[in-house]
Amino acid sequence: MRHKPLREQVIVVTGASSGIGLATARMAVERGARVVLAARSEDVLARIAAELGPGALAVTADVGRREDVEAVAEKAVAAFGGFDTWVNVAGLTVYGPLREIAQEDHERLIRTNFWGTVNGSLVAAEHLRRRGGALINVGSIASDLAFPFQGLYAASKHAVKGFTDTLRMELIAEGAPVSVTLVKPASVDTPLPDRARNYMDRQPTLPPPIYPPEEVANAILHAAVHPQRDIFVGGGGKLFVMGKEFAPGAYDELAPAIIALQKRSEPPRSPQGALHAPREAGRERGDPPTYVMRTSAYTRATLHPLATTAGVAAGLAATAALILGRRGRRPL
């Protein structure tokens, strides 16, 4: 399956007010697409749409509410006659031991991360069945791995993977002209830790290696034209998943180190985060205390059908060297 060039597409992006969603919306406009931006942060979203120009439409929506998502689709049809690609990016996290996290925080996270993806996917698929196009869901390497102190985040991303795989199979069975891609980033330099609900005694961060949000945006927009079933963003993430598959018990024993790598040395800045109300929107990047990779050679290689095995292996080897080089360092 092959789709229209980006310059001929209308693309809907949820979670478009920050991080990966914002980077994707900006990159799509730069490449000639028209974009519908959806998020909860009304003022921030309006400012971004004005910055992007007449080809951008802002729609305030909480993806956890089906009626809000339906309104996004309706406004895309009213403004642009429809859409060709729908990207579900909206997501948040909660840091802390599962037994300490309040039930309402668990439920809100699942409503945004999982039900937001379900709502967006089903609404988009209904539209795309008639005209064809791409559905792209942003999962995570947490779709394949567990992360202690981000347990419900990992559970939500596992659920997103199961739902996405099932929907893809059903669309294939009915012969619908809709491609379904699951993008699985490793750690990405976004404001996600700053916007997280935090139960820890330290400011949260992401474990290395960390990749730029533009790398994820590039993978998403590639899939909008050249569909792929799954895309890992970051060779480091692929290595961790491969390691866990080969030795799941050994991965479990890394729990103390993984917890330590998610803590900065400073106290929490804003523990409530943006889980229940929008906050810290408008930025693509965060401020991680560790080095951010410039690109992912592994991901760039996998996006092109003529990529050689040697090219992919080189990307994984470079990432492995970075990870192994950090083994001797004491975690915070």
Side chain identity, residue 237: G
B/e letters for 51-64, b = 16+ CB within 10 Å, e = fewer, are ebeeebbbbbbbbb
pLDDT tier at 1 (50, 70, 90 boundaries)?
confident
Query: Is 169 exposed, middle or buried, given 0-12, 13-18 or 19+ CB atoms closer than 10 A?
Result: exposed
Judged against a pLDDT cut of 90, whether residue 313 lies above it is answered with no
pLDDT in tens, 129-142: 999 999 999 999 99
Domains of the chain: 6-325 (3.40.50.720)
Average pLDDT over the chain, rounded to an integer: 93
153 touches 147 (CB < 8 A): yes
Report the pLDDT value the prediction gives residue 117, as an integer from 0 to 100. 98
pLDDT value, residue 278: 94
153 is catalytic: yes
pLDDT (tens digit per residue) in 70-120: 999 999 999 999 999 999 999 999 999 999 999 999 999 999 999 999 999
Quote the pLDDT of residue 331.
Answer: 40
Residue in 95, 153, 199, 211 annotated catalytic:
153
Q: How far apart are CA 309 and CA 312, in angstroms?
A: 5
Distance between CA atoms of residues 47 and 22, nearest Å: 12
Q: What are 34-43's pLDDT values in tens digits?
A: 999 999 999 9
Sign of CA dihedral 121, 239, 23, 291: positive
Please answer whether residues 22 and 44 qualify as being in contact, where contact means their C-beta atoms are separated by less than 8 angstroms: no
Task: Tell me what pLDDT residue 332 has.
Answer: 38
pLDDT at 2: 84
Residue 150 sits at the vertex; the CA angle it makes with 106 and 196, to the nearest 5 degrees, is 70
- Averaged pLDDT for residues 309-323: 55
Instruction: Assess whether pLDDT exceeds 90 at residue 323.
Output: no
Confidence at residue 3, expressed as pLDDT on a 0 to 100 scale:
96
199 half-sphere exposure, CB direction, 13 A CA radius: 17
Does pLDDT of 321 surpass 70? Answer: no
Tens digits of per-residue pLDDT, 264-309? 999 999 999 999 999 989 999 999 999 999 999 999 999 986 654 5
DSSP state of 266: S
Cα 270 to Cα 173: distance, rounded to the nearest angstrom = 47
pLDDT band for 311, please (50, 70, 90 cuts).
low
* Neighbouring C-beta atoms of residue 215, cutoff 10 Å: 23
Give the side-chain half-sphere CA count within 13 A for 8: 5
pLDDT classification of 330: cutoffs 50, 70, 90: very low
Structure tokens at 291: 């080095």
pTM for this model (two decimals)? 0.92
What's the CA gap between 224 and 28, in Å, rounded? 10
